[in-house]
Amino acid sequence: MELSLKLEMKSINKDLPVVVTGGSGYIASWIVKYLLEDGKKVRATVRSLKDTSKIQHLLDLKEKFKDNLTLFEADLMVEGSFDKSVEGAELVIHTASPFFVAGVKDAKKQLIDPALQGTRNVLETCNRISSVKRVVLTSSVAAIHGDNIDSLKVPNQTFTEEHWNTTSSLTHQPYAYSKTLAEKEAWEMQKKQSRWDLVVINPSFVMGPSLSKRLDGTSVEFMKNMLKGIFRTGVPDNKMGFVDVRDVAKAHILAGFTPNAKGRHITSAEVLPMLGIAKIIKEKFGNKYSVPTGVLPKPLVYLVGPFFGLSWGYTKNNIGQPMNLNNEYSKTDLSLTYRPLNETIIDHVNQMEGSGLL
């Protein structure tokens, strides 16, 4: 028994470069930074080396960490485009995937194809390149459950890693559908070979300071809208899990380097109604920002929700519904610790202020 456990453990050579796909992204940038600060060599893939508005913060890291950071161009939709970056690496952290919920025009083209085909492309690269021993995939709690109302079907209305999203589709919550399809495909592809194992991180809604001044990410946009008073008349009574971007980044690194790490990991600090975030801001910053002080009645959410990307189906199945997430496994399997959410939110506001984004 002990022997078989040992055989299953994967030790990653800490001197070899770690590949981070979508390295310019909100979460990935922190993964890249922490790896570099820890003395690791990093290969970060970006869509375009010419688009400095998206990668300036990585160029700044390169200035500091020199040859320990190499940037590669790769696109999820271009077969083989990750090969060069993965050559000779044992650990691949695959974060790249489109993340947006509002303004979806063609869900298949904008969300499903890059998530699913992109995951296939990255994992086919891992199949081709014999140095790869472990893949860490950024999935989401969106692959664990779809609507909050689904929690009525699980014990204690609490989702665990055993659960899968069975209710999202191309037309209802397509982002969640894209994450579900991509994670399922990753497990299928992993099972067909034995050289590399798969460890999955399933974060809830990620908040906290960004390393870039980009405003196009969903997490950063949510905070900007909150601070700019978009929700001043009230927020939907919607429970969500929240987690600090720095803890999510650490979870990926722990997943990569913990030899016996296994399976999926709900990575979430706390479940709160959206109003809870507004309360943290109000408590610290007083009336500086026009944050909401109450919830919108559900009939009103049906009316105004579509302007914020909340369909009627979403409102029906999520507003006022219970939902809990069990994060115990991330603490035991990865030894992950979570920062308190008020620190996350306050640091996020301070970073946006400091970067002149408000």
* Residue for token pair 């992950």: 336
Q: How far is Cα 234 from Cα 212, in angstroms, rounded to an integer?
A: 29
Residue among 41, 98, 164, 284 that touches ligand NDP (CB under 6 A) = 98
CB of 28 to ligand NDP, least distance (A): 6
Pull the structure tokens for residue 210: 């960004």
Query: Is position 309 an interface residue for ligand NDP (rule: CB under 6 A)?
Result: no
- Name residue 117's amino acid: Q
Within positions 236 to 295, which residues make up the interface with ligand NDP, using CB under 6 A? none
CB of 215 to ligand NDP, least distance (A): 10
CB of 199 to ligand NDP, least distance (A): 15
Q: Which is nearer to ligand NDP, 85 or 95 (CB)?
A: 95
CB of 348 to ligand NDP, least distance (A): 12
**Which DSSP letter does residue 143 get?**
G
Q: How far is Cα 198 from Cα 43, in angstroms, rounded to an integer?
A: 19
Residue among 62, 179, 250, 264 that touches ligand NDP (CB under 6 A) = 179
CB of 74 to ligand NDP, least distance (A): 6
Within positions 14 to 43, which residues make up the interface with ligand NDP, using CB under 6 A? 22, 24-28
> Which part of the chain contacts ligand NDP (CB under 6 A), choosing from 89-97, 127-135, 280-288, 322-330?
89-97
Binding mask 214-233 for ligand NDP (x = CB under 6 A): ---xxx--------------
CB atoms within 10 A of CB 342: 16
**Which DSSP letter does residue 235 get?**
B
> Which part of the chain contacts ligand NDP (CB under 6 A), choosing from 36-44, 203-211, 272-280, 303-311?
203-211
CB atoms within 10 A of CB 160: 17
The b-or-e profile of 253-282 (16+ CB within 10 A means b, else e) is: bbbbbbeebbebbbbbbbbbbbbbbbbbbb
Q: How far is Cα 146 from Cα 220, in angstroms, rounded to an integer?
A: 22
Q: Which is nearer to ligand NDP, 206 or 334 (CB)?
A: 206
CB of 337 to ligand NDP, least distance (A): 19
Within positions 127 to 146, which residues make up the interface with ligand NDP, using CB under 6 A? 138, 140
The residues with which 179 forms a beta bridge, in sequence order, are: none
Query: Is position 54 an interface residue for ligand NDP (rule: CB under 6 A)?
Result: yes
Query: Is position 234 an interface residue for ligand NDP (rule: CB under 6 A)?
Result: no
Q: Which is nearer to ligand NDP, 30 or 257 (CB)?
A: 30
Q: Which is nearer to ligand NDP, 211 or 291 (CB)?
A: 211
The contacts of residue 192 (CB under 8 Å, 6+ apart) are none
- 83 closest CA partner among 135, 122, 117, 120: 122
Q: How far is Cα 213 from Cα 354, in angstroms, rounded to an integer?
A: 10
* Residue for token pair 């479940």: 271
CB of 100 to ligand NDP, least distance (A): 7
Query: Is position 95 an interface residue for ligand NDP (rule: CB under 6 A)?
Result: yes
> Which part of the chain contacts ligand NDP (CB under 6 A), choosing from 75-83, 128-136, 229-237, 331-339?
75-83
Strand segments, DSSP code E, in the chain are 18-21, 42-46, 69-73, 91-94, 134-138, 158-159, 197-203, 205-207, 239-244, 263-267, 270-273, 324-325
CB of 330 to ligand NDP, least distance (A): 13
State the residues that interact with ligand NDP by CB under 6 A: 22, 24-28, 46-47, 54, 75-77, 95-99, 114, 138, 140, 179, 203, 205-206, 217-219
